[in-house]
């Protein structure tokens, strides 16, 4: 099925048909092996780091992926214009497009990945399951028929038995996937999955699978070459997910015994040999409590989480990809693969975990990654995070001799991540790693859902964090009395501050005592701080008998602060007029909660709606977000059209409140 002649195919310059951290990751290995590198970019990425770091860069279109990173003709033309002899697709976008692989072949370019035939065979979830069954791989029961009518899909879901999974056949990254608990919820979930699949992959076709309750998500990394060799590099455990998208990945899995690893690895190698697979690939399985595993899908590309496999094997997976693509044999046998220690990776995303992981975009005012640990990213202070692409902005990877050592290193590193200006899931990741269930190695795909309240609960000392933020707003205000070490001639009068946390306003009083310390009073609680050092971006202070430090950035009336792994962004509203209830939709106007694209208008003028009823669906960073009516009433106006790109705060639907 490889469709390739066994010969060496030399290439010297590689075009990377991707963006961000994976583009830089590929550049690093390619340059080490003596290859030149070419970047492509959309209008939104003109000033991106991967563009500036490349030897050459070619514009391929406008901001939306369909107008740039998904334009096959534009990427082929860029390769020709730059003189590249090979194309590396990275992951996402066109990485699993057989049409793209075929276009590269037709243009005389080496596609650094499997053949178009293999991508076609394994990229379709329905077809891949049939191939796997024939190869003796256990599969989840389900429906993958050609009849996609609503009635047939509902009937098949009932025959399988709820809960069921709806999955886009061309899907990946959790997009076009829905877990449906009962028949009543099925029609809306089916529509949403199809819409998301069409927007992400250009194909609304879906399959149904029985939902395996609380499984582990285990994947086996495989490699094949055109000489008939195939090996596996062990497993990765990717069970910690939100919205079916991975957040934490580790290798090896705490649930996989050496005997199970041998069995799963043998099945995976048998499968790739059956299709003559060439290059890097991953077979994904669900592992139940009894140790039974079921094939889900195969990803015919490099995975986001490949660094954990690199950490425990000592291999460079991109180097192996380049070697295989040039026609050389792998140069490894299964006996050569040894696993050492434990590795864990987290995906740092620009999203608000406390508000349903809503994607965030904007300017990253300060960006500083920790030393002494592997971090894959493509940002720097001042970088813009556009709303058009995936919300993942960095991967932080730790390796230790034991799982506990790797987990501890990763927590310490995350506490030192400085990301000011755009909300991230930094604190949420730390809480996941600290949670007893994860610490014991017992997390399944239900981990976040089962422990959501605990993971999202404010930490016990949140009050002192808010008080510290208020103090910093006070002492860094250019009109405030300058801070000086030591005693004060007189105590100051209480100064009331109103600070906005982004999702609520707090009233805090600040008083400077005669001994030079500060009292921050909030809701009857008093917090005492003695400042030891204060610079333009850091503070060292005593609180409750303990010396601590924090980093901060003052940006006009906004203050960003990093304290013990928690980042707060607050705004000084002391002199601002009170805000109206309109922001919550109480005025009947539904506003876009983020920059995004309108993918579904669910109502029309004249419709009667109830408060909380869905009226509009926006897509941002490859995720759909339903917007609801803030009041009951009649829809008076639809102010956007499907396909339109909107900015945060734009009025999308207007409702005349019921009398």
Q: Give the separation between CA 338 and CA 356, rounded to whole angstroms.
A: 40
Q: Give the separation between CA 478 and CA 556, rounded to whole angstroms.
A: 10
N- to C-terminal Cα distance for the chain? 67
Backbone angles phi, psi at 104, to 5 degrees: -65, -45
Among 73, 60, 80, which Cα is nearest to 19's? 60
Strands 525-534 and 362-363 come out as: unpaired
Do residues 269 and 232 touch, judged by C-beta distance below 8 A?
A: yes
Which member of 210, 236, 242, 301 is catalytic?
A: 301
505-512: long-range contacts, CB 8 A cutoff, minimum separation 24: 505/573, 506/466, 506/470, 508/466, 508/467, 508/470, 510/470, 510/471, 510/474, 512/481, 512/488
Residues 6 or more apart from 225 whose CB is under 8 A from it?
A: 278, 324, 328, 329, 330
Q: 631: which 2 tokens?
A: 């009041």
Buried b (16+ CB within 10 A) or exposed e, 349-385: bbbbbbeebbbbbeebbbbebeeebbbbbbbeeebbb
Continuous segment of H or E residues that includes residue 7: none
* 301 included as an active-site residue: yes
Q: Give the separation between CA 375 and CA 564, rounded to whole angstroms.
A: 19
C-alpha distances (whole Å) from 96 to each of 13, 60, 102, 107, 204 are 22, 19, 11, 18, 16
C-alpha distances (whole Å) from 493 to each of 468, 512, 514, 527 are 18, 8, 11, 16
Distance of CA 318 to the CA centre of its chain: 21
How many residues are there in the chain? 659
Q: 260: which 2 tokens?
A: 């199970």
Q: Give the separation between CA 414 and CA 565, rounded to whole angstroms.
A: 7
Q: 412: which 2 tokens?
A: 């310490």
Burial of residue 38, with CB atoms counted within 10 A of its CB: 0-12 exposed, 13-18 middle, 19 or more buried = buried
C-alpha distances (whole Å) from 370 to each of 394, 534, 605 are 12, 22, 52
Other Cβ atoms closer than 10 A to 466: 22
DSSP 283-334: EEEEE-TTS-EEEEEEE-S--TTHHHHHHHH---HHHHHHHHHTT------G
Q: Which residues are catalytic?
A: 301
């Amino acid at each position: 099925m490889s469709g390739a002649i066994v010969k060496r195919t030399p290439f010297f310059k590689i075009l990377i048909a991707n963006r961000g951290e994976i583009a830089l990751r590929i550049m690093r290995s390619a340059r080490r092996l003596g290859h030149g590198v070419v970047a492509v970019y959309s209008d939104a990425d003109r000033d991106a780091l991967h563009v500036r770091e490349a030897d050459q860069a070619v514009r391929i279109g406008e901001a939306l992926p369909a107008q740039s990173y998904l334009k096959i003709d534009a990427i082929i033309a860029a390769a020709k214009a730059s003189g590249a002899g090979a194309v590396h697709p990275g992951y996402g976008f066109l990485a699993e497009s057989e049409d793209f692989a075929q276009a590269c072949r037709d243009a005389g370019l080496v596609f650094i990945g499997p053949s178009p035939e293999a991508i076609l065979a394994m990229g379709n979830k329905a077809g891949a399951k049939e191939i796997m069954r024939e190869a003796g791989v256990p599969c989840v029961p389900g429906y993958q028929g050609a009849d996609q009518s609503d009635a047939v899909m509902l009937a098949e879901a009932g025959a399988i038995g709820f809960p069921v999974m709806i999955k886009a056949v061309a899907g990946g990254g959790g997009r076009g996937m829905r877990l449906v608990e009962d028949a009543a919820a099925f029609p809306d979930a089916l529509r949403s999955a199809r819409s998301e699949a069409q927007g992400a992959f250009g194909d609304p076709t879906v399959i149904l699978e029985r939902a395996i309750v609380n499984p582990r998500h285990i994947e086996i990394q495989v490699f094949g070459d055109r000489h008939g060799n195939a090996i596996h590099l062990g497993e990765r455990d990717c069970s910690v997910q939100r919205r079916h998208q991975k957040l934490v990945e580790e290798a090896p899995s705490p649930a996989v015994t050496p005997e199970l690893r041998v069995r799963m690895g043998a099945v995976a190698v048998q499968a790739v040999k059956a299709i003559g697979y060439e290059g890097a690939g991953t077979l994904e399985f669900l592992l139940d409590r009894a140790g039974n595993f079921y094939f889900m899908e195969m990803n015919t590309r490099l995975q986001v989480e490949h660094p954990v496999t690199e950490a425990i094997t000592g291999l460079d997976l991109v180097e192996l990809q380049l070697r295989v693509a040039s026609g050389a044999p792998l140069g490894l046998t299964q006996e050569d693969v040894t696993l050492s220690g434990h590795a864990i990776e987290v995906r740092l995303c620009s999203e608000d975990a406390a508000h349903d992981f809503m994607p965030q975009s904007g300017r990253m005012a300060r960006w500083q990654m920790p030393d002494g640990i592997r971090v894959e990213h493509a940002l720097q202070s001042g970088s813009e995070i556009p709303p058009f692409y995936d919300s993942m902005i960095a991967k932080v990877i730790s390796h230790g001799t034991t799982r506990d050592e790797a987990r501890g290193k990763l927590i310490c590193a995350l506490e030192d991540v400085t990301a000011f200006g755009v909300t991230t899931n930094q604190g949420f990741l730390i809480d996941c790693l600290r949670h007893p269930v994860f610490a014991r190695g017992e997390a399944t795909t239900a981990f976040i859902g089962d422990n959501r309240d605990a993971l999202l609960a404010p930490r016990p000392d949140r009050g002192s964090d808010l008080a510290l933020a208020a103090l910093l707003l006070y002492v860094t205000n250019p009109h405030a009395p300058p801070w000086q070490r030591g005693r004060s001639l007189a105590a100051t009068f209480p100064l009331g501050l109103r600070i906005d946390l982004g999702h609520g306003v707090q009233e805090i009083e600040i008083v400077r005592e005669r001994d030079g310390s500060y009292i921050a009073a909030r809701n009857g609680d008093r917090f005492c701080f003695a400042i030891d050092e204060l610079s333009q971006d850091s503070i060292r202070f005593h609180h409750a008998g303990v010396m601590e430090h924090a980093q901060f950035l003052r940006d006009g009336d906004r203050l960003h602060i990093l304290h013990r792994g928690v980042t707060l962004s607050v705004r000084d509203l002391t002199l601002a007029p009170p805000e109206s209830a309109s922001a919550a939709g109480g005025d009947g106007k539904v506003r876009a909660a983020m920059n995004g694209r309108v993918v579904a208008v669910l109502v029309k003028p004249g419709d009667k709606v109830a408060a909380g009823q869905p009226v509009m669906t926006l897509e941002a960073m490859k995720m759909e977000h339903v917007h609801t009516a803030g009041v009951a009433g009649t829809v008076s106006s639809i102010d956007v059209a499907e396909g339109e790109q909107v900015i945060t705060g734009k009025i999308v639907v207007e409702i005349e409140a019921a009398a």
